[in-house]
Chain A
């Protein structure tokens, strides 16, 4: 009897434990179809290049914790005073840090590990910096895989040591960014020197900064500081950087942990590339999207920005030291690691996209540009998972970005009018992150519809809802909207579906005005969730009212939200997040010339763009940054499509 009782309690305990562990839930994978084509004929950017790779270390030469920065330093550097930018959170931490490192914030070492090509150069310079982690588990060696690859392809890659800013620090990302610029000062001196391994070998006009996590925010801070004459929070600190930084890469960055002058970091006129994993167990919102939105192109230069959301990627696997410990050494207890793609796969994505970005923006290899507009063009290079891509370049003109006012009928430029028909939801609101009470800091429009008419007959449909952006003639002329232009917008379906539409009243009935409709006592019939692929129609209307239309799915996959379960414990994601998915809008680029083949529309007199919600019975989409661009042809694939391959044609 006693044994039975014990067995009973053991059983209950086991059930409790196992029952509270979530089953592996992944969104239905469509990568076999979406990534089935390879339209770029350029060389695989993840392939090693022709250069032999050399490595060296530079730094203080006195580091008490890292042998390589003490004994293997080839180039000695003087420490820099970072006390204006960072300080320990309390006295105890200050002591602990000083005891461990042997220096304080007035003596920050300029340490770096370098992978560089064995050649005469000059080679573009790329700095990468890690983010926050256990300060004793050194993070800077974790980007060696990028160092080996990039150096073989003719880049100098420096993994910057900022481990001494790790640990229990807060609001120190200005120091992280400032340190990057102090490293660049060293590189300028070495390049200008008459001797040494880098004399005349560094192309200081082609510089990129890359950062991971807090380092991802630090590159934006460095980008902003680079063009400032003074430190925004203490103008007694003068800046004199002005490096030719062309490109910034943010890997799963945080945002606004540092706010210059208590504002989000502004950025202008840099190429900006952002990646983030859906299963990030540390920075669990796609925080970098807020910075992405704040990158502006104002000087007429050829800039672009792109962001890729990688389904099943985490925070740490971009760094070989961090790996799958997003939540610390005990991550296996907290995070559902089963859903992650393999570390090598995740890093292959980084190799492909980061190398291509640097090749395109630092060395003018434009053949890689289309993949930043539409990831589907490089299906064979990418790990088989799902991606969402955001994209914008300097030629984009926004007709509606929903930032200007609270009038839902006005666009962002004079002469733009917005209208909706038969919509169940039509509102402009700030785009939320999946984390509670946090937003991306910019607005978008929510459009919801349900074509089904209320009543017992579930097959009755009303006319499709639509949303129209009308542009005036003068604006069309000013923007030179014609067949060379591209319609650009970003859109994401949500999981909300409005209820059936109230049918129009039958005014032919004599007593219809007098008789009050009685609410039906019967429960409304259950309608199965719409499992058909999500789609809608995009129409271009000319001044004469002629219409040409294509389904949106021709220009990119239109997915329902990608739910991601980060935590191992059942219900934890619902508890911690406002949504089980991150609302990541996919950017679609529709060349107007394509619409010539879809109707007799006059593309030199485009009057309106209409989104007609006729391909999915009910749904809600979030729409933003609708506009036109005369974007460079380099962003499109020039390879000829096979006859009858419509999908291929649309991807070009």
Chain B
């Protein structure tokens, strides 16, 4: 069996093994797992299924385990804020990653769709958090990964938590990296008497780069997610980088996505400045009506 065929079979197994099917529940918790975490990826539409860095622990466990450390935070208008930290270590053909992310928000009491709360602080304080540990192993050219997430959603005095699981696979084809993952496999949460599924989703992605075009280096990412209710979220972005001196690089990013969080504007932009192993990433997203506000994200990456 060729490797590509094996990879194809693995992809199919992952896609259908998770129980794809339409669901009637309209609410998904925790909120934090429905937002793109990596600030670099935020500038490119959040398409990070095939992206490989420490933040990949949140988007595809097969791409976790890349050595490095990321720290980042986001501010949603004047109402909510989010933060994350992730680190990875590789040991030969294996890797280990850890990550934590949280979202602090306030939602109007009894509001059925909490996304609107990201831009407007409601009466009930909300906290959505996750802690992830992921392990990877390369076997016959394919990187396999699995992750466990400790998930919790807290609104006012009510809260529920669970453990979710991710599985994924990734492979490089020359300069193209591909990844496939099933994320957030786990039981239903019950917050304030309202049942909410984990947002289980099937994600397929590819990234390419970086190709020299004139003085610039160009990288591109793309991903397509299908949530358990069948909601399809395509995403893609490009990154243009320019280095004038070894170790110094500035990058500009743009992307688009149909976000799971419907109050997020699909267009995103970002930028970064890198100096040797250190990179400062910035991303700008927008909340659309009826939510209001701009999302500024900033992160420090240590490669």
Contact = CB atoms under 8 A, between A and B. Distances in A.
Interface string A82-100: 0000000000100010000
B174 to A, nearest CB: 7
B34 to A, nearest CB: 34
Nearest to A13: B273
Interface string B1-21: 000000000000000000000
Given A17-B248, A20-B248, A333 B243 contact: yes
Contacts, number: 28
A578 B254 CA distance: 43
B290 interface: no
A17 B245 CA distance: 8
Interface bin, chain B: 10 to 19
Interface string A319-344: 00000000001100110000000000
Contacts of A572: 246
A615 interface: no
A222 to B, nearest CB: 33
Interface in A531-585: 567-569, 572
A369 B174 CA distance: 51
Contacts of A329: 212
Interface residues of A, number: 15
A294 interface: no
Contacts of A16: 248, 275
Contact of B246 (A13, A92, A96, A567): A567
B92 interface: no
Nearest to B275: A16
Interface string A67-110: 00000000000000000000000001000100000000000000
Contact of A333 (B141, B244, B273, B275): B244
A330 B247 contact: no
A15 B253 CA distance: 24
A183 interface: no
B245 A20 contact: yes
Contacts of A13: 273
For A13, A17, A333, A568, the residue with the greatest tally of chain B CB atoms inside 10 Å of its CB is A333
B243 A330 contact: yes
A16 B250 CA distance: 13
A13 B141 CA distance: 42
A21 interface: yes
B246 A569 contact: yes
A330 B245 contact: no
A569 B245 contact: yes
Given A21-B245, A569-B245, A330 B212 contact: yes
Interface in B231-249: 243-248
Contacts of B248: 16-17, 20
19 contacts: A13-B273, A16-B248, A17-B244, A17-B248, A20-B248, A21-B245, A92-B174, A96-B174, A330-B212, A333-B243, A333-B244, A333-B246, A334-B246, A568-B245, A568-B246, A569-B245, A569-B246, A569-B247, A572-B246
Given A92-B141, A334-B246, A569-B245, 17 more contacts: A16-B248, A17-B245, A20-B245, A20-B247, A20-B248, A21-B245, A92-B174, A329-B212, A330-B212, A330-B243, A333-B243, A333-B244, A333-B245, A333-B246, A568-B245, A568-B246, A569-B246
Q: Which 9 A-B pairs have the closest CB atoms?
A: A334-B246, A569-B246, A333-B243, A333-B246, A21-B245, A569-B245, A329-B212, A17-B248, A333-B245
